[in-house]
Amino acid sequence: MPVCAKTFAEMGGAYARASAIGDIVELRLDCLHDLDFEIERFASKLSRPTIITFRPSEQGGYRNLTRREREAFWARDLKADLLCDIEADLVVESSFDWPHVIVSHHDFSGVPDDLEEIYERLAATPARVVKIAVQADQITDCIRVFHLLDRASSEQRELIAIAMGNAGIATRILGPSRGAYLTYGSLEDTSATAPGQVNARQMRSVYRIDEIDRETMICGLVGMPVMHSVSPHMHNAAFATAGVNGVYLPLEVRDVESFVKRMVHPRTRELDWNVRGLSITAPHKSSVMELLDWISPDALEIGAVNTVVIDNERLLGYNTDVHGFISPLRERFGSLKGMRVAVIGAGGAARAAVWALKRDQANITLFARAPIKARSLTENFGVQCEALSTASFRGYDVVINATPESPATAAQLAGARLVYDLIYNPIETQFLQEASEAGCQTLGGLPMLVAQARLQFELWTGKTPPASVMHDAASAALRP
């Protein structure tokens, strides 16, 4: 756990908090405002294995340190059992207490073409540990980092290898299970010392990093962006409750075709990992379909896949959004046959909602800001579309918001029986507030999220977790 503070007094307090959570604490001495510090006296009070770092800004540090300042600092006799993270430009030209050295290389511009040569150069030093951190622009950049870990393990060389940034989260969470000497977790969400660093409490409580091994079943959320999602909280809680050796990761993917080909499909993937299931979110729900070996009939009709199952050498596509959407309505009303339902929106969420409502024989009217944009929906499903600007929802049994906005006022919603917002974050949306003001019953998007996630989990594992487990995990993650 890295600790960054402006003064030694602040650093001492942060060190104590980090020691209660982490196995190893890193003191980022380049964060200190006063360079005239007494690290020797401070080091004598350390209660955990500790790394000290004094990194220049051009290599990810917090101070514009000259080479002379760095050399003078590392020339000290620290008289403490510390690990010293020293940049490669100093290590290759100097002599150190090698059993206490981590020789490191950082590249914040991307993954260098000569990554393997950099590893070989650093591994040739007598340093106890080699550290390489590179910026991942695409999730496929993780492949070379994982390959380095495999190589280091085969050569019995201690290595820390990390792909920084949101696209590299998998290397941080899976790294130790693949032989990494350590991984980094921040003290707080706001105190990360490198791009993509995950909160240490979440590493243990959500991702259960101490239980991950090479046999762990890997599932994840594929989209762009994904870091805001509560799906990892829900699915990892379900894995823990079901007693399944599994982990669910946020997987930030720009190029879904490259990701599926190089990291997922059993016939072409370049990575040896036990990936078994994926949730697909925006913007890939339609584009992923052409990469699959089989797609369920309902997903084909809707034109979107949100769930992928890796079954032997085939990728199977499903749409659990439909089940998630309709389940709370069925629980509330039983049958929807003949009910008047208004759907606001003209995108993918609206399409899935209309398909499910048609199947349950509801009477549907579509409302859109620009009805012409809903033409494909109206033609495919035979529903009428009206302009949202002049809409009144009086007399409707259900009004559904399938947009990311608050598209109607209390005056428009007055007289509707139930208002259903598919948005789950925040739990109480502006749209639902307008509905409450109008005297309507309300339903938020969290029950839908939980219902579709439970079906996903069942498709991946054959087990159905309690809805309360997923709901409580999501609610806790959504609390301010």
- Cite the active site residues: 285
CA gap 81, 355 in Å, rounded = 65
CA gap 131, 162 in Å, rounded = 8
Structure-token pair, residue 37? 């510090």
The three-state (H, E, C) secondary structure of 227-271, written as one string: CCCCHHHHHHHHHHHHCCCEEEEEEECCCHHHHHHHHHCCCCCCC
CA gap 229, 382 in Å, rounded = 34
Q: What number of other Cβ atoms are within 10 A of residue 75's Cβ?
A: 9
CA gap 233, 240 in Å, rounded = 11
CA gap 357, 335 in Å, rounded = 11
Residue 59 near residue 106 (C-beta atoms within 8 A):
yes
Residue 43 near residue 50 (C-beta atoms within 8 A):
yes
List, in order, residues 6 or more apart from 53 with CB less than 8 Å away.
2, 26, 27, 28, 29, 30, 61, 85
> What is the separation of C-alpha 368 from the centre of its chain, rounded to a whole number of angstroms?
32
Length of the chain: 480
